[in-house]
Amino acid sequence: MVSQLLDGRYQIIEVIETGEFGQTYLAKDIRRPGEPQCFVKHLRPGTTEPKLINTTRRLFQKEAEVLERLGQHDQIPQLFAYFEENEEFFLVESFVAGHSLSTEIVPGKPLTEEKMIPLLKELLEILVFVHGQGVIHRDIKPANLIRRYSDNKLVLIDFGSVKEIHIAQRQAPVTVRIGTLEYMPIEQFQYNPQLNSDIYALGMIGIQAMTGLPAYDLPKLRDLKNSNKGEIVWRHLATCSQALADVLDNMVRYDFRERYQSAAEALADLRKIGDRSRARIPKLTIYREEVDRRSSSRGDITVVGRRILDELRVSLDLLPEEAEAIEDEVLNPYRKYRQKGERYEQSLQEAMQQEYPFSVETRDELKRLQQVLGLTDEDAATIEGLVVPKSLFSKLYKAIATVLKGHRNPNPPPASSAPQLELQASPAVSPQVNLNGKTDLSLAQPAPTGATPTERIASPAAIVPKETRKFNPYLAGATIAAILAAIGGIYGYLKWQEWQQRAQQKSQEFNQIAALYKASNYEDCISQIPTIANTSSSYSSAQELQEQCQSGLLWKNAKVKNFAEHSDAVGAVAFSPDGLMLASGSKDKTIQIWDLATGKSLRTFAGDSSTVWSVAFDSKGTRLATGTGFWRVMLWDLKTGQVIRSLDHTASVWSVALSPDGQLVASASGDKTTKIWDTTTGRLIYNL
């Protein structure tokens, strides 16, 4: 289709999306100056029956008429043209350059109330116009909201599922189920959408943004057990004002009759919140920006910086609690990271007291500690570079100091044997201190003539003769010998550690091979055993292990294990390619990953709150595909436990399979179709 010319003027640039009944293209209008870009939606009925073609043509024309009216709004794409070629139908809409709202609503990063209120107001204003035209969108979600680059406004797209009703007709006739489950209210799921079904979807977007939850976790917020059955329980997961929480709750009421009946009603309540908070938002923003400027990389604020913040808080008329909350928000990440670095340094010092160089196990443990603390490799290397030399020098210094102390005071006199004399210093004496630290009295004046015997004894000149410091070859030799002994001791200690490390490594190699046997990985176990040298102390044990592994290959030591931790019937199981794990899907709406060696559950995935009918590993054992009762194919990352991609059928998915290269996923569904998807982009490649 690329480069093909449609209707003699729209040249296709690329295929943007492929769906069950058609495709969406990015094209350019070669008949307009500058050849501006546009979107072309291509509808293929998939039948040649005249009656169905006429029905499709009638519905297509009605949709075009609706889009023509909606395109009058600045934040809805404008309809340029619609036409038919070879019983296939085309819609041409204005091109919107921007990014989807799904790039702003990121799991784990809740939006603040200051950002949430303007976003909801802007979208409710669009809904006021759409509902005023008697149209229900039925598929409002972050992916269908585009942030336009030119003016930063949100644009509501994808009206392919619109449904026109008469404004005075409050009860819409029963229709097909269209939409995205996470944002779909119960009445729409039951084929009976209302105008305020769109308000529900917008409220769920607000709750998703305020809680930071991924979309697939939104159904789990529904209370199905207590008295308020069916209501969304979310306030405990978010930080927002009571007023905004009340508005969101009224937008997502389970019963549409208790929900806001119009977008204008919800918008009026939201504007009241904005009027009350508008005066304080700039002040808080100003203070937050100043705290960010005054904070150092260690999360500290200088004395002068503290004075600046105190004066600014007073001038902005902020409460101390408000200022403290902002400072905690800005500075805590720095402080927590610094504290983690200090804990790593302490652990490193304690480990060096026990062994150095570090064994392989200790290195692995330090690496794991670094990962748990969230330290970067650069910071960990810096800490180790400071600690290791300091610790070795400390050991050498203490050893030398101990030897020297023993030579300087070989036989210290006991304190009790020293004569007890009461001496009085003579004011006539002015002792000098020489460079050796000894008191030098050679220049002291003698006691005056006629002094009493007591005064003569008290005279320093009379009891301390002048000393001459001489070179002591024995002390020098002892010092050199102590240094050499310390160096030799450290060298011997390092060699002993090296020998011990090699012994530990050999023991570890055998333990790793034994672990392969315990994990029932018999082939790898047999291939690794020849690496054990016949001179090793583990050689005989290795030979016994080899016989046990050979028995394992022949199923002579097979054991039956019972994995009984699902709470309902199991619908699907699959082994990982390496045979170490088992995946199971159940009617209890969970997926379990099991360790076959221990029988323990390694990870539990909550899925999309529906029965799991099928599971399949990729060839590397790093990803898992599941098919659910909510019509969905879900692709999981087994390391992170996160959903990589979610793909939709229109009925339960009974079977899934991944291609050997992991680039494709196939799914078979109760909607009587088999689909082939691109796992990287989520694009539908084949619909069989």
User: Which three-class secondary structure string do you get for 483-523?
Assistant: HHHHHHHHHHHHHHHHHHHHHHHHHHHHHHHHHHHHCCCHH
Does 398 score more than 70 pLDDT?
Answer: no
Q: Which of 36-40, 50-54, 306-310, 432-436 has the least mean pLDDT?
A: 432-436
Band of pLDDT at residue 469, cut at 50, 70 and 90: low
Q: Which of 96-110, 122-136, 391-405, 583-597 has the least mean pLDDT?
A: 391-405
Give the residue from 647, 671, 454 showing the smallest Cα distance to 17.
Answer: 647
What average pLDDT does this structure show over 516-527?
80
Q: Are 288 and 330 in contact (CB under 8 A)?
A: yes
pLDDT of residue 377: 78
Band of pLDDT at residue 463, cut at 50, 70 and 90: very low
H runs (alpha helix) in 108-170: 113-132
The answer for residues whose C-beta is within 8 angstroms of residue 257's C-beta and 6 or more apart is: none
* Domain range 5-94, CATH class: alpha beta
For the segment 653-688, what is each residue's pLDDT rounded down to a tens digit? Answer: 999 999 999 899 999 988 888 999 998 888 888 888
Q: What angle separates helix 473-518 from helix 377-408, to the nearest 10 degrees?
A: 140
Q: Are 503 and 511 in contact (CB under 8 A)?
A: no
For the segment 60-88, what is each residue's pLDDT rounded down to a tens digit? Answer: 888 788 889 999 999 999 999 999 988 88
Cα 166-169-170 angle, rounded to 5 deg = 120
- Here the tokens at position 649 are 């059928």
Radius of gyration of the chain (CA): 40
How are beta strands 591-595 and 601-605 bridged, if at all?
antiparallel
Placement of tokens 């019937």 in the chain: 569
Q: Are 469 and 436 in contact (CB under 8 A)?
A: yes
Q: Give the number of other Cβ atoms within 10 Å of residue 164's Cβ.
A: 14
Burial classification of residue 359, based on how many CB atoms lie within 10 Å of its CB (0-12 exposed, 13-18 middle, 19 or more buried) = buried
Q: Are 434 and 468 in contact (CB under 8 A)?
A: no
CA pseudo-torsion sign 335, 338, 344, 346: negative
Most confident of 225-229, 254-258, 564-568, 629-633: 254-258
Write down the mean pLDDT value for the chain: 79
For the segment 320-354, what is each residue's pLDDT rounded down to a tens digit? Answer: 888 888 887 887 777 777 778 888 888 888 887 78
Q: Are 382 and 345 in contact (CB under 8 A)?
A: no
CATH of 570-687, one of 2.60.120.650, 2.10.109.10, 2.40.10.10, 2.130.10.10: 2.130.10.10
Q: Which amino acid is at 475?
A: L
**Per-residue DSSP letter, 304:** H
Contacts 24+ apart (CB under 8 A), 268-277: 270/117, 270/120, 270/121, 270/124, 270/244, 271/121, 272/243, 273/117, 273/241, 273/243, 273/244, 273/247, 274/117, 274/118, 274/121, 276/243, 277/113, 277/114, 277/117, 277/241
Q: What is the DSSP string of 195-214?
A: HHHHHHHHHHHHHHHHHT--
CA pseudo-torsion sign 46, 49, 53, 55: negative
Give the residue from 66, 118, 87 showing the smallest Cα distance to 22.
Answer: 87
Q: Which are the catalytic amino acids?
A: 139
Does 557 score more than 80 pLDDT?
Answer: no
User: Which three-class secondary structure string do you get for 535-595?
Assistant: CCCCHHHHHHHHHHHHHHHCCCCCCCCCCCCCCCCEEEEEECCCCCEEEEEECCCCEEEEE
> What are the sequence ranges of the domains in the chain?
5-94, 98-277, 281-387, 474-553, 570-687
Residue 680, phi then psi, degrees to nearest 5: -80, -45
Which fold would CATH assign to domain 98-277? Answer: Transferase(Phosphotransferase); domain 1 (1.10.510)
- Here the tokens at position 610 are 């529906």
CA 684 to chain centre: 28
Provide the percentage of residues in the chain whose pLDDT is more than 90: 28
The answer for residues whose C-beta is within 8 angstroms of residue 306's C-beta and 6 or more apart is: 294
For the segment 83-132, what is each residue's pLDDT rounded down to a tens digit? Answer: 998 888 999 999 999 999 999 999 988 998 889 999 999 999 999 999 99
Placement of tokens 């090793």 in the chain: 536
Q: What angle separates helix 320-354 from helix 360-373, to the nearest 10 degrees?
A: 180
Band of pLDDT at residue 162, cut at 50, 70 and 90: very low
Peptide bond into 357 cis (omega under 30): yes
Q: What is the DSSP string of 355-366?
A: -SSPPHHHHHHH
How are beta strands 145-148 and 163-164 bridged, if at all?
unpaired
